[in-house]
């Protein structure tokens, strides 16, 4: 019987950029504790966008090659030679691509939801928004209520495949790269902004206005992407 080989997984963009940064560190003579060039300069030098660069730096931070210090910069670490990675491992889907995929799917689903929304569903969505507000006021993460809000809209659309896709995309937030980004860039201020955006989506659904609902959900997801990745 011929040997069974696993298919080679395509390397994500952040892995490719992280490998370039590792090579830059090795060839550029950056000693342990040295600060790398600012994000803007590094992105220009590598010819990549700053969101993609940020994802790559997060991946290198997770593996221990660099340390990102808030308000200070990115510093070179010195892992033991036996643990030094040769290439960057995959630690989840690209957060940028996740948000773009969510926008494409949820922008379509919310239009379907507008035609099927009931008073009972609107009341439940209102309860979820209120629960988010309470958690934010208590300086706790409202993530679970956020998830329920988006999944309920998906369920109103009436397409079980889309519900599963939205659920999977949302839960990818728990991957190492997305969780690291969340821990660094989510706070009470960003959650309060997200709360206002959820309220706008709810108002559009209450008005049964599909175009307004679609605009509101796309505005929310683009703003979330900017806060989470590009801010």
Q: What is the rounded average pLDDT for all residues in the chain?
A: 90
Average pLDDT, integer, range 167-190: 91
For the stretch 32-38, contacts whose Cβ atoms lie closer than 8 Å and that sit 24 or more positions apart, written own/partner, are 32/76, 32/77, 32/78, 33/75, 33/76, 34/75, 34/76, 35/72, 35/73, 35/74, 35/75, 35/76, 36/66, 36/73, 36/74, 36/75, 36/76, 38/73
Binning pLDDT at 50, 70 and 90, where does residue 64 land?
confident
Indicate if the pLDDT at residue 231 is higher than 80.
no
Q: What pTM was estimated for this model as a whole?
A: 0.85
Architecture of domain 95-230: Up-down Bundle (1.20)
- Is residue 15 a contact partner of residue 90, using CB atoms and an 8 Å limit? yes
- What does CATH list as the number for 13-83? 1.10.10.10
Q: Angle CA(171)–CA(182)–CA(110) in degrees, nearest 5?
A: 50
Domain ranges of the chain: 13-83, 95-230
Give the range among 13-27, 83-97, 172-186 with minimum mean pLDDT: 83-97
């Amino acid at each position: 019987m011929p040997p069974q080989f696993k298919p080679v997984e395509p390397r994500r963009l952040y892995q490719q950029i992280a490998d370039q940064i590792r090579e830059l560190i090795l060839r550029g003579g950056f000693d342990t504790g040295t600060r790398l060039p600012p994000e803007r300069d590094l992105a220009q030098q590598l010819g990549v966008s700053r969101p993609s660069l940020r994802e790559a730096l997060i991946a290198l931070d997770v593996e221990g090659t660099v340390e990102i210090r808030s308000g200070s910069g990115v510093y070179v670490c010195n892992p033991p030679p036996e643990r030094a990675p040769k290439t960057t491992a995959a630690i989840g889907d690209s957060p940028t691509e996740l948000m773009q995929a969510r926008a494409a799917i949820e922008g379509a689903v919310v239009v379907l939801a507008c035609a099927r929304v009931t008073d009972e569903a609107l009341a439940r969505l209102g309860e979820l928004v209120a629960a988010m507000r309470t958690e934010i006021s208590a300086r706790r993460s409202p993530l679970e209520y956020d998830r329920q809000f988006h999944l309920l809209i998906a369920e109103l659309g009436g397409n079980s495949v889309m519900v599963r896709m939205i659920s999977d995309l949302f839960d990818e937030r728990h991957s190492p790269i997305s969780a690291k980004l969340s821990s660094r860039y989510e706070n009470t201020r960003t959650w309060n902004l997200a709360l206002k955006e959820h309220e706008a989506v709810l108002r559009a659904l209450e008005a049964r206005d599909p175009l307004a609902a679609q605009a509101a959900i796309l505005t929310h997801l683009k703003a979330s992407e900017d806060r989470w990745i590009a801010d």
